[in-house]
Structure 1
């Protein structure tokens, strides 16, 4: 029978010999493919190793992300500010604020300037204007004979010399349209109150920007405000600065009810009953939380790395090729690959070196200006005595709190100091982590890198080339087997034909 056709010859299997040529050649090719199977397994192992390195680099990167916050003074020198009159005044303290007690007496709050129509806009309270209909069609309701073509007013929030706003009034403009134009980019909120039939104009900013004068000045107006809105300069109220006394000695003003002085941010909600006391102390809880989070992340990192470098390698469990997986169930594949992937980074020198470097970084002395707080152990952070912890750090919270309370500046310098000759712990750790990540990237690359940019990528590319070449050789070997068997079949067929011919000749004698 004919089993296949090659471009150069016809494959004939078992036609004359009766042999299972397909089966025989399949068995022969299985033996020939054994080196290819090993190549495939090596390629899979290399891919797994690359991915395991990248997973470790992700762990290092997550730890690295905490460095920026650990370089900020606010992570260590967190301040708490407590007011004795919290209903009237609240405060927050920056890391630069000195601990102590401060007195604040608020005598006046900052207010917005506000002006309201002296009387209702409508002449008849029972027949008020429609704020959505054109004003030009409601002059009788307003008690006006004509509608000015524009209005003018001056504000001072953005320019001490005054900023005049001129707004054009169209015949189709409603009251709502005019108020929207007044409120557009002028620093003024203008609205109509239906219940009182009055217009309200209020500055968006608190404060006295025009001492001795109005914050919303109608002096330049041709009569719109007086005749249509029933509003004059005399009706303005507010526009005041906040006034307070600091430590009983300095009288100060602020255009807003939130102001900063000596690192304190003060918010005024009401005038005080005499002096309010603001007590500033170190907020040890937040600082402890920041340091604890950092140490815990480091412990997670070294736990992950240690698991990989001591993980047992099961050399009898080779990676499964796609052909091998065909004869296995999903659960069997999962269990097999769990064993096969174990120990990929066992005793890896890059990871081990990275761990060693970080451990050394933690235990360097740093000149903090306080000899009692120049080493990690002196603030209550030491290496776990348990062998099973593999170098994890443990925190004596009471000792850490005491160090932060006594000298938060020194604790900050212990962790962060950019001086190359006296680097802080975070600075040293950052250098070690970056070097380890760079080494891993050189070997395993990033997902965005091409194969030529890292060592394992080049190795995988070389493997693929060798596998492609081997596949071509296998095709040639298979063709050779078929040619040999086909030649044999043809020879047997020819012999059979000759035998039949001779039998026929002798049978006729």
Structure 2
């Protein structure tokens, strides 16, 4: 809105003050509208926060509802230097005797030793790797050093890596290492490149020199409860359903698969915390301050109260999924309601229930997780309580903003009209004052001349 300029100089009357008071009165509806805008934005922000907390509760409910995410397993080796393991929810609980008899390895072969300065003529390197033929043709220059041959092998990325080792006396060997472990990944080399000085072919591997760290491509071998199993790597993931065993060294140990009770307790605690966060948020925003006479964002809001009511109904209603479980209610699992409306978890009671019958505990948690998940999905669906409330407040906020803009424009026009009227009044009064002064002076002059 435009600012007021000084009025009333000509009239000798404080027209500026009068205009200010008139416009203050005209602004009362705008002030009320701005108060509505502030209140609506506060409510919209509060509903946004609540929506986020409901989403967190829905996520934790989903965790409870799926056996795969709730029923976790732990796999522990008596000697972790021999094997380590991880288990998914469908791994059978039990104990297994493990004997690692051989670790997987990739092939490592050495060429014969070549004199310093040896070069190789043009030709082909013909590899067979994992049963597949792969050739490299070296014809770009008249001859190649052993280092240059190794570089060509590495640049072609055929599944074998080449390294050249130079001895103290200057002689050289090329070390060829397979990229992958397992017997099926063995390789061989046949070369048409001839070495200078009549030395042995590049394709001949040294199999006789003592001390070279040659290795064959071989599978890892293990016995599980006396049954032979094999893997091309040191990881066994298909031998036992839901269990991955990683071999580290040869030896024997025991592997135990058990229900991960701590993981289940942690998931339930996350649910309880998320539930309580929703309760705190709704109750905290539903208070009324008698001193300031200002209510919270949810004060008097039936939608917010309806959310708490629906959540408590889901908590107290036995879902169909618990029909054949020995645990019917959440309180049977140590999840109880407090006087303040929040949940509390007795982790010891839950651990005891898991020890008694973990299958039934998981069945009950799955059922209640589904029940809460359905309610929360309804809340936040396109036609749910939360969406309707947020959409309604968003529409109201947009309308109030439009009304404010229109009202401010109207006030500008009103001010212009009053200012024009006051300016005209100021001019008229000033003119009349000038005329009055002139007449007074004229009459006074006439009176003096007649006497």
> Which TM-score band (shorter chain)?
0.7 to 0.9
Q: What secondary structure, in the 3-state scheme, does the structure 1 residue paired with 2:76 have? A: strand
Q: What secondary structure, in the 3-state scheme, does the structure 1 residue paired with 2:289 have? A: coil
Please show how residues 11-410 of structure 1 align to structure 2 within 5 Å: 13-15=8-10, 17-119=11-113, 121=114, 123=115, 128=116, 141-142=117-118, 144=119, 146-156=120-130, 161-168=131-138, 170-171=140-141, 175-184=146-155, 185-195=157-167, 197-209=172-184, 215-219=186-190, 221-223=191-193, 227=200, 229=202, 231-232=204-205, 234=207, 237-248=215-226, 250-260=227-237, 261-262=239-240, 263-273=242-252, 276-312=253-289, 343-366=296-319, 367-368=321-322, 370-384=324-338, 387=339, 389=340, 391-410=341-360
Q: 1:189 to 1:55 in 2, by over 3 A?
A: same
Calculate the TM-score normalised by the size of structure 2. Answer: 0.84
Contact kept? 2:126, 2:133, Cα under 8 Å = no
> In the aligned structure 1, how far is the partner of 2:408 from the partner of 2:246?
73
How far does residue 287 in structure 1 lie from its aligned partner after superposition? Answer: 1.4
Contact kept? 1:313, 1:346, Cα under 8 Å = no
Q: 1:301 to 1:507 in 2, by over 3 A?
A: same
Q: 1:415 to 1:499 in 2, by over 3 A?
A: farther
Q: Is 1:427 matched with 2:373?
A: yes
Give the counterpart of 1:466 among 389, 394, 407. Answer: 407
> In the aligned structure 2, how far is the partner of 1:412 from the partner of 1:455?
45
The residue aligned with 1:320 is: none
> In the aligned structure 2, how far is the partner of 1:194 from the partner of 1:467?
88
Which is richer in strand?
A: 2
Q: 1:195 to 1:474 in 2, by over 3 A?
A: farther
How far does residue 233 in structure 1 lie from its aligned partner after superposition? Answer: 7.8
Contact kept? 2:222, 2:228, Cα under 8 Å = yes
Tell me, which stretches of 5 or more residues in structure 1 are unaligned? 6-10, 129-140, 317-339, 446-453
Q: What secondary structure, in the 3-state scheme, does the structure 1 residue paired with 2:332 have? A: helix
Contact kept? 2:182, 2:220, Cα under 8 Å = yes
The residue aligned with 1:444 is: 393
Calculate the TM-score normalised by the size of structure 1. Answer: 0.75
Total equivalences in the alignment? 429
How far does residue 476 in structure 1 lie from its aligned partner after superposition? Answer: 2.3
Deviation per CA, 1:324-361: give whole Å up to 9, x if none: xxxxxxxxxxxxxxxx6x52321321111111111211
Tell me, which stretches of 5 or more residues in structure 2 are unaligned? 209-213
Deviation per CA, 1:48-98: give whole Å up to 9, x if none: 333233233233334344445444434421212222332212222211112
How far does residue 309 in structure 1 lie from its aligned partner after superposition? Answer: 1.1
How far does residue 429 in structure 1 lie from its aligned partner after superposition? Answer: 4.1
How far does residue 413 in structure 1 lie from its aligned partner after superposition? Answer: 3.5
Q: 1:458 to 1:37 in 2, by over 3 A?
A: closer
Deviation per CA, 1:287-340: give whole Å up to 9, x if none: 111211221122122112110012426656xxxxxxxxxxxxxxxxxxxxxxx6
How far does residue 266 in structure 1 lie from its aligned partner after superposition? Answer: 0.7
Q: What secondary structure, in the 3-state scheme, does the structure 2 residue paired with 1:508 have? A: helix
> In the aligned structure 2, how far is the partner of 1:433 from the partner of 1:224?
78
Contact kept? 2:154, 2:161, Cα under 8 Å = yes
Contact kept? 1:104, 1:278, Cα under 8 Å = yes
The residue aligned with 1:132 is: none
Q: What secondary structure, in the 3-state scheme, does the structure 2 residue paired with 1:186 have? A: coil
Deviation per CA, 1:162-187: give whole Å up to 9, x if none: 13132435339765554243234312
> In the aligned structure 2, how far is the partner of 1:348 from the partner of 1:64?
22
Contact kept? 1:29, 1:478, Cα under 8 Å = no
> In the aligned structure 1, how far is the partner of 2:366 from the partner of 2:413?
60
How far does residue 402 in structure 1 lie from its aligned partner after superposition? Answer: 2.3
How far does residue 423 in structure 1 lie from its aligned partner after superposition? Answer: 7.5
Q: What secondary structure, in the 3-state scheme, does the structure 2 residue paired with 1:301 have? A: helix
Q: 1:231 to 1:443 in 2, by over 3 A?
A: farther
> In the aligned structure 1, how far is the partner of 2:356 from the partner of 2:445?
120
Give the counterpart of 1:414 among 355, 364, 370. Answer: 364
Q: 1:439 to 1:415 in 2, by over 3 A?
A: farther
Q: 1:426 to 1:38 in 2, by over 3 A?
A: closer
Deviation per CA, 1:109-132: give whole Å up to 9, x if none: 11111102332x3x2xxxx5xxxx
